[in-house]
Structures are given as structure tokens and as C-alpha cells.
Structure 1
Amino acid sequence: MESVSSSLGQLLAIAVMALALGMDAFSLGVGIGLKGVRKLDVLQLSSVIALFHVLMPLAGMAMGYYVSGLLGGVATSAAGALLLLLGGHMVYSSLRGEEVRSINHRTFWGMLFFALSVSVDSFSVGVSLGMFASHILVTVLMFGAVGGLMSVLGLLLGRKISHQLGGYGEALGGAILFAFGILFLI
């Protein structure tokens, strides 16, 4: 019975992390959506973002397993500190009000740039999760699905809501990661 509740707890934690990481994709989608997007743009950009939300945490987890072997008992503290820094940076960036540069999201390089910019934090979280030997397949599939879905929602809602909500979405995502960092350190 403990194993089932432990697995459900881990699944819930992964889902919440996926939502937190997806806030960046949502925020970016809102910003790009305000410029005007076609349905094909929504499909292409959200697919690339979903792919990057799978690949980046995988790369991070591979590094996390390696780092975990080197650090031993310090791994939990290092992972918590990494999540604290990442969450703090996301909140700081959203409060600074940085605007997305005028890069054409319809080009191959533009899509790669945007997908990479919102999935770099997935790499960092992957490093942290790699230190804890979490369920790789479930984690990356959930990160990818939620990242893709959040980008679709942001792109579609971008025409209807103000740019400021995108910043709040990033701040909320950062706050959630920051909270997970604190939980790992306690």
C-alpha cells in the first residue's frame, strides 16, 4: 500500500513540475500569439517545444545520474539548490519584464530558438530528477505532453489576453519550482 501512495506522490510531483515548466511555454505562446499565428504555426511550434521538453530533461537526467554517482549524499541538496536557483531566475525574469525579441517564429531557426529558450529549464530539472533516479519515461513524456499543450494554449489564447498574463504565468512556474527546491532542501 505504501508503494502505491509513494508512486502516486511521485506522479503528482512530476505532474506539478511539468505544469511549472510548461508555464514558460505558455508564456512564450501568449507573446507569440499576440503577434498573430496561423493554425499551422501553432501545430509546428508546439510540436517542436514538446520534443524539446522531452529531449532536454533526458539529457539532464543522464547528466544527473552521473553527477549523483559523484556527489553521493550531497545530491539532494544540490538538486534542491538547482531548483531554487532556476525558480528564482524565472520569477526574476518575469518581474524584469523582458520582451521576446523579434525573431520570426515561422522559420526553422526561429522555432528552434523559441523551443530551446523554454526548455533549457527542463534540462536543469532533468539534472535534479536524474539525481533522484525518478521514472524516466513517465517524466519525459509528461514534460513533453504538458509543454506542448501549454504552448498550444498560450498560442491560442495569446490573441485574447494581455501580454502581462504571460509574465505572470512564468512567475507562477518559477514560484512552483522554487517551492520544490525548498522541499528538496528540507
Structure 2
Amino acid sequence: MVETGMHAGQLMTLVIIALALGMDAFSLGVGIGLKGIRLLDILKLSALIALFHILMPVMGIFTGNYVGALLGSVAALAGGGLLLLLGGHMIYTSLRGGAVTSINPRSGWGMLIFALSVSIDSFSVGLSLGMFAVDMLVAVLLFGLAGGCMSIAGLMLGRRVSSSLGEYGEAIGGVILFTFGLLIIF
């Protein structure tokens, strides 16, 4: 009976961590959705984010305790820095109009950059989980599911709102990403 209670508590903790990690994906999704994105690209990007939310903690688990203490804060700073750069670039692009080439979230590199920027904190979580007796398969599958589902929700919400915002959608999306990056760093 005690094991079941501990297992349920552990599962609830993993669900909360998964939702917290997925909030990055949701925020990013709203920002990109405001820029405008097709349904097929929403599915591709969300699947890639889900995959990264699985792979990053697995890599973190295997990296070990020593490296975890060294890279934990660096990973969060790198993720925040990427969001600052992406958000700043989106704001700059929207203000300059068509004169500047924007990072295309539909391109392979654009999707990789966006997926990495929201999944890098999963690496740090993986480092921490590697020190505890946690069911790693359940943990990483929950992280992937939450990241994928929350990115779909954010992308769909941003896409729906973008039609009413017009040309300001990309600037607002950039402000969201930039602000989120600042929150991560500070």
C-alpha cells in the first residue's frame, strides 16, 4: 500500500515537471503561431519538440552527476539566450518589414533551433532525475507528451489570434519569446 502511494506521488511529481517543461513549448508555440503557420508545420514542429523533450532528458541522465552540477545553470542560460535571440530577431524583422530575412519555423534548421531552445532545460532535468530512483521511461514519455501537446496548443492559439492581429502578430510573438528568455535568464 505504501509503495502504491509513493508511486502515485512520484507520478504526480513527474506530471507536474512535464507540464512545467511544456510551458516553454506553449509560449514558443504562441509566438510562432502569431507569425502564421500551416497545420502540417504545426504537426511537424510539435513532433520535433516532443522528440527533443524525450531525447534531452535521456542525454542528461546519461551525462552524469558531475557534469550535471557544472552544466545545470549553463543549460538554462543557453535556452534563455536562444529565446532572447529568436524573440529579438522576430521583433526586428517585423519592424523592418520584408527587408530582413526571418528564421523560418517551417525550415529544417528553423524547426531544430526552435525545438532546441524549448527543450534544453529538459537536459538539466534529466541530469537531476539521473540521481533519483525514478522510472525513466515514464518520465521521458511524459515530458515528450507534454511538450508535444502544449506546443500544439500554443501554435493553434497563436495561429487563431494572428488573423486578428495582422502584421503586428510577429512583433507580439517576438515580445513573448524575448520576455520568456529574460525570465529564464533572470
TM-score interval (norm. to shorter): 0.7 to 0.9
Structure 1: segments with no counterpart, 5+ residues: 175-186
Taking the aligned partners of 1:22 and 1:137, their CA distance within structure 2 comes to 17
1:53 matches 2:53 = yes
CA contact (8 A) 1:23 1:170 kept: no
Q: How does 1:39-50 map to 2 (within 5 A)?
A: 39-50=39-50
Cα drift, residue 155 of structure 1: 0.2
Cα drift, residue 149 of structure 1: 0.3
CA deviations 1:90-127 (Å, max 9, x no partner) are: 9x87xx89715331011111111111111110011100
CA deviations 1:146-182 (Å, max 9, x no partner) are: 000010000000132864666787899x6xxxxxxxx
Over aligned residue pairs, what C-alpha RMSD do you find?
A: 3.5
* 3-state SS of paired residue (1:99): helix
Closer/same/farther in 2, CA of residues 168 and 138 from structure 1, 3 Å limit: farther
CA contact (8 A) 1:23 1:169 kept: no
Structure 2: segments with no counterpart, 5+ residues: 90-101, 163-171
- Tell me the amino acid that sits aligned with residue 24 of structure 2: D
Bigger CA radius of gyration: 2
Name the TM-score, length of structure 1 as normaliser. 0.72
Q: Match of 1:156?
A: 156
Name the TM-score, length of structure 2 as normaliser. 0.72
Aligned residues: 163
* 2:87 pairs with one of 74, 86, 99: 99
CA contact (8 A) 1:26 1:169 kept: no
Closer/same/farther in 2, CA of residues 59 and 166 from structure 1, 3 Å limit: same
Q: Match of 2:99?
A: none
Taking the aligned partners of 2:110 and 2:49, their CA distance within structure 1 comes to 12
CA contact (8 A) 2:75 2:123 kept: no
Cα drift, residue 133 of structure 1: 3.2
Taking the aligned partners of 1:169 and 1:12, their CA distance within structure 2 comes to 26
CA contact (8 A) 1:26 1:155 kept: yes
Q: Match of 1:182?
A: none
Q: Match of 2:134?
A: 134
Q: Match of 1:179?
A: none
